[in-house]
């Protein structure tokens, strides 16, 4: 796949295995950004690696796709490989005649992160601009949250990897030595899900009360009981809304904001406020 103006150079595992397609596209270099993948083996990524087809230079970077993986550690080898294939100027000069395929398992996170780093290094792009460029040819490209912040640290460090590592260590320092990025994200999501579940339970209770209030056989004693229940539900809903707002403020103040958790909290907050309004009618 062409590695000049064409952005179709980040793909998944299956594309790298298609030897005939690589030849048709005149691919000269393949960069595998994944641990444990054997690209040219038995077709399933298993068995002994047969090595690259004739005429193709291949390098594999061993890194897993999770937020705690050290992307900055593999970037020197990645940038060196891509620089040797394409040169350091941007766009790559046509006379070099090299075509590069960068792939991981799914073509979403690891390969996109490496190509973004190369664009930042060779073209001087900001991270967001590099990702937008990549998405023109690979719309699913989305480096995980750990990779994203390591690339942002690299941007802040103006491409200096040693400085970028120091900046990134400062980013994750508030999490503590025993808690990584993945655990930090997991806690945000678990808390958001728990608060949403609490609001869901209250929705069932409120729906039951509002249904019974509409029944004709509504006795005074029962009515007073339901009024007391309503007041209790209002207090709990207000408490839930306050907790959600506090959790939003806490999460928004962190470097590693989990977007799905933010969406869950927003949904729970809107539902709680709607239920509160229904009790006030």
Catalytic (active site) residue 240: no
Q: Which among 227, 275, 256 is positioned nearest to 148, based on CA atoms?
A: 256
Instruction: Identify the bridge partners of residue 243 per DSSP, sorted by sequence position.
Output: none
Give the active site residue among 34, 86, 100, 104. 104
Distances (CA, A) of 37 to 48, 63, 248: 10, 10, 39
Q: How many other CB atoms are there within 10 angstroms of residue 261's CB atom?
A: 23
In angstroms, the CA 174 to CA 178 distance is 11
* DSSP state at residue 68: T
Where b means 16+ CB within 10 Å and e means fewer, 100-116 reads bbbbbbebbbbbbbbbb
Cβ contact 164:154 at 8 Å: yes
Q: Could you list the active site residues? A: 104
């Amino acid at each position: 796949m062409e590695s000049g103006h064409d952005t179709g150079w980040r793909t998944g595992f299956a594309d790298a295995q298609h030897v005939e397609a690589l030849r048709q596209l005149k691919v000269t270099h393949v960069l595998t950004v994944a641990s444990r993948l054997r690209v040219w083996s038995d077709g399933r990524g298993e068995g002994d690696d047969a090595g690259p087809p004739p005429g193709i230079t291949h390098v594999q970077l061993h890194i897993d796709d999770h937020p705690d993986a050290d992307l900055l550690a593999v970037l020197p080898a990645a940038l060196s490989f891509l620089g040797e294939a394409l040169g350091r100027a941007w766009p790559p000069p046509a006379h070099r005649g090299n075509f590069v395929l960068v792939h991981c398992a799914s073509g979403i996170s690891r390969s996109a992160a490496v190509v973004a780093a190369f664009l930042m290094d060779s073209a001087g792009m900001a991270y967001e601009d590099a990702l937008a460029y990549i998405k023109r040819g690979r719309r699913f490209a989305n480096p995980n949250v750990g990779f994203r912040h390591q690339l942002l640290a690299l941007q802040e460090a103006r491409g200096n990897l040693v400085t970028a590592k120091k900046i990134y260590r400062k980013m994750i320092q508030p999490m503590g030595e025993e808690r990584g990025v993945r655990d930090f994200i997991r806690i945000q999501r678990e808390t958001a899900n728990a608060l949403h579940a609490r609001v869901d339970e209250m929705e069932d209770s409120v729906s039951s009360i509002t249904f019974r209030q509409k029944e004709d056989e509504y006795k005074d004693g029962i009515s007073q009981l339901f009024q007391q229940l309503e007041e209790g539900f209002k207090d709990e809903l207000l408490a839930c809304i306050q907790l959600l707002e506090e959790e939003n403020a806490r999460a928004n103040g962190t470097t590693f904001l989990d977007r799905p958790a933010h969406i869950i909290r927003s949904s729970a907050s809107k539902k709680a406020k709607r239920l509160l309004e229904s009790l006030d009618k």
